[in-house]
Amino acid sequence: MAAAPTLLAVPITSAELPLAEQVQAARAAGADLVELRVDCIGDLAAVEALLQQPRLLPLIVTVRAAEEGGSWTGDEAERIALLERLGLHLPGYIDVECATWQRSANVRQKVGLVCDIARHEGENARPRNQLILSHHDFKETPPDLDAIFDRLAATPAAVIKAVFAARDATDGCRVLEQLRRRAPTRPTIALALGEAGVCTRILAKKFGAFLTFATPHTGGESAPGQPTIAELRSLYRWDHLGPATRVYGVLGWPVRHSLSPFVHNAALTAADLDGVYVPLPVRPGWDDFRAFMECVTASPALGFAGFSVTLPHKEHALRWLDERGGAISAPARRCGAVNTLIRRPDGTWGGDNTDGRGALAALRTLPECAGDQLRGRIVSVLGAGGVARAIVAALCDAGADVTVYNRSENRAQRLASELGCRHAPWAHRLHYAGNILINCTSVGLWPVVEETPLPDEALRPGTTVFDTIYQPAETRLVRAARARGCAVVSGLEMFLHQAEAQFELWHGIAAPSDAMRASLASPKTSVL
Ligand code: NDP
């Protein structure tokens, strides 16, 4: 069956604004279809009035029963009669729960009469609606998805639809795998709810789904995780997605505030590559990380080609590669963490860490640190966590003389002995060594933005101050440093350079730096 383009459907869930106005707004925003959630709208007279008007867009009529997450609490016979009555207006599509369809001869007869399913001999061929049979699970994405999709596929529905609550992106990928397998032979809608399901809403188009739901504006969602049409189009490259699109994403917990989708999707657009970059929240445990990686590795046809790895999975990524015999770069091995996973054409995975490279590139944007000028320089690093490890390793490689100060001194001691630098008690940071100071602690990170790892008065004029924190872009430490006439480097500069290095690892071409930088200037990315 030739795949029809995936439609953008906008749900309408209230009659607070006139329904016709809402349909018009949906069309203006780029929707192909509108779902009338009659159970939520409640105002039946308004629905019938809309259905009597000429169609601006095809409509899905849904009167969802409470047992499948809807708001219809009335009598079941009344609900079925309503579906039939509304169906006579030929909205285009009628959505009924598969369980109701299978259980109720009344539904099969009445809704069947207004839908385009197998007809009795001699019946006239008047136009009817397409039947959507749906399944909803608001508790979980159960282990046996095959059984659910097989049951849907055995019905006479024109379109089958299944929606699941997802614990994390692993469930989202399992749903996508069903969509990938079912959509070529049957118009299919397969979605996971919530933040974990955002990838299913975006990638619906890659796998040829019948539709995905989106809203014309923020706040219009009928289910958690629905993006806006503008987000799908301008951020997630909706118009470019197709079967060959390669998929990249950020793995972490949480990933809601990640800037990576902005930067990497802008880069894909600027480089004119057939790819998309999506948020992939994976729960914090090692088993959760491993489950996700095993899921995407077992389904190469899903097209996952690379990941940015963020908290708390950088060490899990290294462990996973070690267990599978994956290639690990020297910088990643040295700092004990992987922030970039790369899938090779033969399907194997490799890991690298671009944090150290990104930090040094950021520092080298200052004339006094450019080129080889870090060699022999005394540098003080606050913190001994994952980022400190990556930056200290890169600084040592560049020939700098590094001292680490950390709240938990044993951690500083371990880092110093492993990477071959000095360490000193946390209190000694007030008299930090040298004239380059790098904050690798999380002190000052949003939302506790008035904290600083070093009292303002301890900053010596003439110091170069680099704060790795980029949310907010201007930390209290950076503000205080500017006020004392220090040269400053922001965490955003490091973020951009490490993202450029990731792009180059995945795509093997120079990163479009200007487009990546420009993507961070959008209002969406400056909310923090
Ligand atoms: P970790 O959790 O591994 O390390 C956190 C560090 O902060 C530890 O050294 C910890 O000390 C210290 N710390 C935390 N709270 C305090 C406190 N109240 N007082 C003193 N020290 C404290 O985190 P990461 O190394 O992964 O990340 C560190 C920062 O780097 C993040 O906040 C993030 O903003 C930034 N980052 C920037 C990136 C960029 O591209 N610009 C990329 C990734 C991260 P202790 O050992 O005593 O607990």
Whether residues 389 and 347 fall in one domain: no
CB of 498 within 6 A of ligand 1: the answer is: yes
Of all protein residues, the one whose alpha carbon is nearest to atom 32 of ligand 1 is 442
Residue 16: give its domain's CATH number.
Answer: 3.20.20.70
Cα(169) to centroid(ligand 1), Å = 25
What separation in angstroms does the CA of 482 have from each of 304, 349, 445, 450? 43, 43, 18, 16
CA-CA-CA-CA torsion for 408, 413, 419, 423, nearest 10 degrees? 90
Per the CB < 8 A criterion, the answer to whether 282 and 289 are in contact is yes
Whether residues 232 and 275 fall in one domain: no
In whole angstroms, give the CA distance from residue 240 to residue 34. Answer: 23
Q: Is residue 509 one of the residues assigned to a domain?
A: no
Of all protein residues, the one whose alpha carbon is nearest to atom 44 of ligand 1 is 387
pLDDT for residue 68 = 87
Residue found under tokens 């091995």: 333
Whether residues 348 and 363 fall in one domain: no
Residue 439: give its domain's CATH number.
Answer: 3.40.50.720
Domain of residue 144, residue span: 7-243
pLDDT for residue 528 = 33
Look at residues 243, 258, 279 and tell me which one is the last residue of a structural domain.
243
Please report, in tens digits, the pLDDT of each residue of the chain (528 residues total). Answer: 456 899 999 999 999 999 999 999 999 999 999 999 999 999 999 999 999 999 999 999 999 999 889 999 999 999 999 999 999 999 999 999 999 999 999 999 999 999 987 555 555 566 789 999 999 999 999 999 999 999 999 999 999 999 999 999 999 999 999 999 999 999 999 999 999 999 999 999 999 999 999 999 877 677 778 899 999 999 999 999 999 999 999 999 999 889 999 999 999 999 999 999 999 999 999 999 999 999 999 999 999 999 999 999 999 999 999 999 999 999 999 989 999 999 999 999 999 999 999 999 999 999 999 999 999 999 999 999 999 999 999 999 999 999 999 999 999 999 999 999 999 999 999 999 999 999 999 999 999 999 999 999 999 999 999 999 999 999 999 999 999 999 999 999 999 999 999 999 999 999 999 999 999 986 555 433
Active-site annotation holder among 89, 136, 313, 316: 136
Q: Is residue 262 one of the residues assigned to a domain?
A: yes
Of all protein residues, the one whose alpha carbon is nearest to atom 3 of ligand 1 is 385
| Cβ neighbours for 528, distance < 8 A, ≥ 6 positions apart | 257, 446, 471, 472, 473
pTM: 0.94
Pocket test for ligand 1, best of 259, 442, 492 (most atoms within 8 A of CB): 442
pLDDT for residue 399 = 97
pLDDT for residue 4 = 83
State CA 173 to chain mean position distance.
12
Q: Is residue 511 one of the residues assigned to a domain?
A: no
pLDDT for residue 408 = 98
- Run of H or E residues at 59: strand 59-62
Q: Is residue 524 one of the residues assigned to a domain?
A: no
| Residue 314 is among the residues annotated as catalytic for this protein | yes
In whole angstroms, give the CA distance from residue 180 to residue 177. Answer: 5
Whether residues 56 and 130 fall in one domain: yes
CA-CA-CA-CA torsion for 51, 54, 57, 58, nearest 10 degrees? 50
Number of domains observed in the structure of the chain: 3
Q: Where are the alpha helices (DSSP H) in 377-486?
A: 386-397, 409-419, 476-483
Of all protein residues, the one whose alpha carbon is nearest to atom 46 of ligand 1 is 408
Whether residues 160 and 199 fall in one domain: yes
Q: Strand pairing of 340-343 and 349-352?
A: antiparallel
Q: Is residue 418 one of the residues assigned to a domain?
A: yes
Pocket test for ligand 1, best of 407, 441, 493 (most atoms within 8 A of CB): 441
- The CB-based long-range contact list for 294-301 (8 Å cut-off, 24+ gap) reads 295/170, 295/173, 295/174, 296/173, 297/347, 297/349, 299/173, 299/177, 299/180, 300/347, 301/180
Whether residues 59 and 202 fall in one domain: yes
Whether residues 330 and 411 fall in one domain: no
In whole angstroms, give the CA distance from residue 425 to residue 44. Answer: 71
Active-site annotation holder among 89, 110, 161, 507: 161
Q: Is residue 2 one of the residues assigned to a domain?
A: no
pLDDT for residue 264 = 98
Q: Is residue 500 one of the residues assigned to a domain?
A: no
What separation in angstroms does the CA of 523 have from each of 440, 469, 514, 518? 27, 19, 17, 11
Whether residues 221 and 264 fall in one domain: no
Strand order in the sheet with 436-439: 422-425, 401-406, 378-382, 436-439, 464-467, 487-489
Q: Is residue 55 one of the residues assigned to a domain?
A: yes
Whether residues 269 and 341 fall in one domain: yes
CB of 494 within 6 A of ligand 1: the answer is: yes
Cα(445) to centroid(ligand 1), Å = 9
Residue 324: give its domain's CATH number.
Answer: 3.40.50.10860
Cα(387) to centroid(ligand 1), Å = 7
pLDDT for residue 525 = 55
Whether residues 102 and 143 fall in one domain: yes
Of ligand 1's atoms, which has the minimum distance to the CA of residue 310? 43
pLDDT for residue 224 = 76
Active-site annotation holder among 314, 316, 423, 497: 314
- The CB-based long-range contact list for 180-186 (8 Å cut-off, 24+ gap) reads 180/207, 180/299, 180/301, 180/302, 182/149, 182/153, 183/3, 183/207, 183/208, 183/209, 183/210, 184/1, 184/3, 184/208, 185/1, 186/153, 186/159, 186/160
CB of 445 within 6 A of ligand 1: the answer is: yes
Whether residues 426 and 311 fall in one domain: no
Tokens representing 335 are: 């700092």
Dihedrals φ, ψ of 232, to 5°? -60, -45
Tokens representing 296 are: 């995407």
pLDDT for residue 219 = 74
Of all protein residues, the one whose alpha carbon is nearest to atom 33 of ligand 1 is 469
- Please provide the size of the chain in residues: 528
Look at residues 228, 243, 258 and tell me which one is the last residue of a structural domain.
243
Whether residues 170 and 210 fall in one domain: yes
